[in-house]
Amino acid sequence: MAHARLCLRDMIDTDLMLRAYANGIFPMSDTRDDAETYWVEPPTRAILPLERLHISKSLAKTVRQDRFAVTSDTAFAEVIQLCAAPAGDRAETWINHEIEEAFLALHEKGYAHSVECWQDGDLVGGLYGLAIGRAFCGESMFSRRNDASKVALVWLVTRMVAGGFTLLDCQFLTGHLARLGVIEIPQNRYLALLADALEQRGQVSATGSASAASSAGASSGDWGALDGVLDGGFAGGFSSPGKRIMQLLTQTS
């Protein structure tokens, strides 16, 4: 199916969301205040092969200089609210209140995560998404300062590499994402990559619940692995988090 509409006000829950994402389907709405949510399975899918992330010289300099303080999962609710807020390039958002509430519940259960960029104590950029198996399904990003969302993406990719993730889903291709290395593939190819991430390391099966997969002993990407690397210090002359991030990406590219 391409677009199947149904009202989810009384139906949307974490198990339903996890099963949908495990089948390559994700929810959207027409406006922020729309009560109707519909499932989307596009014919093509945007992904970012982790080794293909394109970091310009200016962006690399921004990361190394720690222009933004970067955190993870410290302001998830604020990130999703800012992603849902009107921006210069759009007056409306596809993130309605039901989707927001579902992701807040998924965050509480440890499935949904955010990356935040701070400047002078203000939240100025970030992104959020859903981790299933060794896949991370990126949902949305925002930026209130130049390059803030790009820095968040650099840190996300580094976190995924450190944690053994294999698939970064970006849903739809845009010119902005293409410049960062995102490519478009057929949906059937995406489903094969997703199945590999779930079947080999899976957290959620296509028909079962997250709890069932967990009880079967399935492993998943380690979202917190990067924190352990950074907490270990900056040996070898890497005296800042940003320099360490760029060194880790260079090692794995």
pLDDT at 30: 84
**Contact assessment for residue 87 and residue 32, using Cβ atoms and an 8 Å cutoff:** no
The DSSP element (H or E) to which 3 belongs, if any, is strand 3-6
Task: Enter the pTM of the model.
Answer: 0.87
**C-beta pairs of 141-149 under 8 Å, 24+ apart in sequence:** 141/83, 142/79, 142/82, 142/83, 142/85, 142/87, 144/82, 145/68, 145/117, 145/119, 147/58, 147/59, 147/62, 147/67, 148/68, 148/117, 148/119, 148/124, 149/117, 149/125
Report pLDDT for 207. Answer: 41
For residue 44, count other CB atoms closer than 10 A to its CB.
Answer: 13
Query: What single DSSP character describes residue 240?
Result: S
**Mean pLDDT per 10-residue segment, the chain (253 residues):** 46 86 93 86 96 96 96 97 79 83 95 97 97 96 96 98 96 94 97 89 43 45 93 60 92 66
Q: What is the pLDDT of residue 205?
A: 42
The residues, any chain, with a CB within 8 Å of residue 7's CB and separated by 6 or more, are 35, 36, 37
Burial class (CB in 10 A: 0-12, 13-18, 19+), 178: middle
Which residues fall within 8 angstroms of residue 90, CB to CB, at 6 or more apart?
none
Q: Does domain 3-252 bear CATH number 3.40.630.70? A: yes
